[in-house]
Structure 1
Amino acid sequence: MRLHRLDLTAFGPFGGSQSVDFDELSAAGLFLLHGPTGAGKTSVLDAVCYALYGSVPGARQSAQGLTLRSDHAAPGTRTEVTLELTVAGRRLEVTRQPPWERPKKRGRPGTTVEKAQSGLREYDAVAGAWKDLSRSHQEIGEEITQLLGMSREQFCQVVLLPQGDFARFLRADAEARGRLLGRLFDTQRFAEVEKRLAERRRAAEARVREGDTALLADAHRMQQAAGDAMELPELAPGEPGLAEAVLTAAAVARSGAREQLTIAECGRLAAESAQAAAERALADVRELDRLQRRFAEARERARLLQERAGAHREAQTRMERARKAEAVAPALALREAAAAEHRGAAAAEVRARALLPEGFAEAGAGGLATAARRAAQELGGLESARRGELRLAGLLAERTDLDRQERADEDVLAETEGWLAGWDATRAALQERVESAQEAATRAEQLAV
């Protein structure tokens, strides 16, 4: 940002119109505002701030409106501040007029208050003329804030150092300077950050102490399990190096435990080898014992067999005789079967003769054959008559079925003739019902509409 020109009218201690050419003042690169108290040095800076943001900096912010007007100004002269500057490559002109109380122009004597007015113009280098941008207080404030990138408070803290605060800053001690810088540059947020960081540090220290306490508790339990193989450090929870010392002691104890585990594994392997050898020896002894028992049992069975040798020879002799008798056993069986069949045939003959009539009971074989032929002839005639009787019964049953079917057909024919006789009347009634139903449907649709 670069200031070019500032015009003041009835502002602060300046009763008339004053103009400050910053281009001429800054031609040497640096300029100084100086003068006695009340000469208006601070008012020039207030005018710059008022032109940019519509308010003055610091505690003088309450000096708005009518109080900004100079007490030395003529009643008809309006307070006005105009600032010409270049910012972000754009040449702008800002005009601010605070509310003021002026004499009434006509009517009864008295005064009236006019509202504040603002204006923003931009110089068009191509056309070589100024063009109006806005007359809204809010739009102008947002445009200036966006171009400068700073709010009024930030502009006052960074660009304008309030009058009197710099001398107080030079004479103050370190604590007072810190408070003053904090008030000027709004370092309260950094104090809040520092406070939050301190709280987080204390919370972290508390968590570290809690972790160290839990770690020491675990270390004591490990020491009870490891015995003299583990030595704990003489450090309190929260002291630096506690975790590393505990981990080192645990590593040493772990190495010792691994060594003892290796020794125990070697002892276990030796014991397993000895157990396997003992099991093999036990298996050999058990096998020898089994063989010895079998040998003793075999000797006992041999003694018993020797004692039973005589009975065995007698049984063998009887078996030889049985084998010789076995050769004629089929013939004896056939003889017994033939005798049984003969006895059965004789009994059957006696029973058959008992059933014959008296004339044939004493007849011989020839008479019996003749009688058998006659009986066969009679049986043939009787069989033919029986077949004819069966055929006649079937024909009678078939005739009965045909008669019943004929009567059923006659009933169906009579029913059909009666139905055909009434078909015209039935058809007319059905047609009338169909037409009535169609009319009802049409009527229902009309009623629905």
Structure 2
Amino acid sequence: MRILSISGQNIASLSDRFEIDFTAAPLNGAGLFAITGETGAGKSSILDAMCLALYGDAPRLATGASSDEVPDPSGDAIKAKDARAILRRGAVQGWAEVRFTAQDGNDYIARWQSRRARDKADGKLQNVARSLARASDQQVLAGQTTAVNEQIIALTGLTYEEFRRTVLLAQGDFDAFLRADTNERAGLLEKVTGTSLYRAVSTRVFERTEAARQAHDALALRRGEHRLLSDEEQAALAEENAPLGVQSRHLVDRIDDESVRL
């Protein structure tokens, strides 16, 4: 996949609407670029916005226990891992949007949005709205969280955890890939480098080689069950068959004679 743009508003420390377009100058011609700024300027919030739009989750939500709760201006407590906790304090709504090119070569737009009831700063947090649309005609392909997640995974070839550990290494999480076990790391590398095709080819070659070996072993076993006759045995068999051949020819002659008389 290829990220084309990231945009949003009221995500963590970012209050104003922002947009980073990688298809426009100067980023479209930059082979390498960096996101820099003072602590709290919103560098990580940009990455959070990207993950929210694509997967409805964000790296900063990975810390803490799933049962931890945080206070909310509405008076209710929400889970610390609730993505709505990223909504900027005092904001009545926030959103994140990512435009990307998928594995099928088409461009799509993934969007995440959170809002408060009655558009009040202390209103109760409403359910998150998510959508996935085709960029060419704005056709909405999915509008439910589960359906959006399934399509994002199918289009990118990566789950959120795989995306977080490979494409995105958030602050304080650079060792996530290194801490993965051998099998998991191998699978991630295949997806990132696109070498899963070679694994499939290798598996097919092994399977065909193993089938050919088993067929060869079976033929060798059958061959071992048969013994070739020695020269003496072949001569004795030929001598034994000679009279039978003469008798056979006599019988054929008699049958021909009988046929003529009839």
Q: TM-score, normalised by structure 1?
A: 0.34
- Deviations 1:279-308 (CA, angstroms, capped at 9, x unpaired): xxxxxxxxxxxxxxxxxxxxxxxxxxxxxx
SS of residue paired to 1:11: coil
Determine the C-alpha separation between the residues in 2 that align with 1:82 and 1:7.
5
More strand as a share of residues: 2
1:187 aligned residue (168, 181, 189): 181
Matching of residue 11 in structure 1 with residue 11 in structure 2? yes
The aligned counterpart of 1:23 is 23
Give, in angstroms, the shift of residue 182 of structure 1.
4.0
The aligned counterpart of 1:410 is none
The aligned counterpart of 2:53 is 51
Distance 1:146 1:37, change over 3 A: same
Matching of residue 33 in structure 1 with residue 41 in structure 2? no
What is the number of equivalent residue pairs in this alignment? Answer: 166
Distance 1:139 1:66, change over 3 A: closer
Distance 1:102 1:16, change over 3 A: farther
The aligned counterpart of 1:140 is 148
Q: Retained in 1: the 8 A contact 2:112–2:131?
A: yes
SS of residue paired to 2:125: strand
SS of residue paired to 1:66: helix
More helix as a share of residues: 1
1:91 aligned residue (95, 107, 117): 107
SS of residue paired to 2:138: strand
Structure number with the bigger relative contact order (C-alpha 8 A, sep ≥ 6) is 2
Percent sequence identity over aligned pairs: 28
SS of residue paired to 2:41: coil
Q: Retained in 2: the 8 A contact 1:57–1:152?
A: no
Determine the C-alpha separation between the residues in 2 that align with 1:82 and 1:190.
29
Give, in angstroms, the shift of residue 29 of structure 1.
2.0
Give, in angstroms, the shift of residue 16 of structure 1.
2.3
Give, in angstroms, the shift of residue 36 of structure 1.
1.2
Q: Retained in 2: the 8 A contact 1:10–1:72?
A: no
Determine the C-alpha separation between the residues in 2 that align with 1:190 and 1:155.
13
Give, in angstroms, the shift of residue 11 of structure 1.
0.7
The aligned counterpart of 1:443 is none
Determine the C-alpha separation between the residues in 2 that align with 1:150 and 1:110.
37
Determine the C-alpha separation between the residues in 1 that align with 2:178 and 2:130.
33
Q: 1:184-333 to 2 correspondence within 5 Å?
A: 186-187=180-181
Distance 1:188 1:144, change over 3 A: same
1:82 aligned residue (90, 93, 97): 97
Give, in angstroms, the shift of residue 145 of structure 1.
0.4
The aligned counterpart of 1:2 is 2
Q: Retained in 2: the 8 A contact 1:15–1:72?
A: no
Give, in angstroms, the shift of residue 160 of structure 1.
1.0
Matching of residue 164 in structure 1 with residue 166 in structure 2? no
Give, in angstroms, the shift of residue 64 of structure 1.
2.5
SS of residue paired to 1:23: coil
SS of residue paired to 1:36: coil
Unaligned runs of 5+ in 2: 64-79, 186-262
Determine the C-alpha separation between the residues in 2 that align with 1:19 and 1:144.
21
Determine the C-alpha separation between the residues in 1 that align with 2:43 and 2:146.
28
Give, in angstroms, the shift of residue 58 of structure 1.
6.0
Q: Retained in 1: the 8 A contact 2:100–2:108?
A: yes
Unaligned runs of 5+ in 1: 170-179, 192-449
The aligned counterpart of 1:118 is 130
Distance 1:103 1:145, change over 3 A: same
Distance 1:110 1:35, change over 3 A: closer
Q: TM-score, normalised by structure 2?
A: 0.56
Determine the C-alpha separation between the residues in 1 that align with 2:106 and 2:158.
17
Q: 1:332-351 to 2 correspondence within 5 Å?
A: none
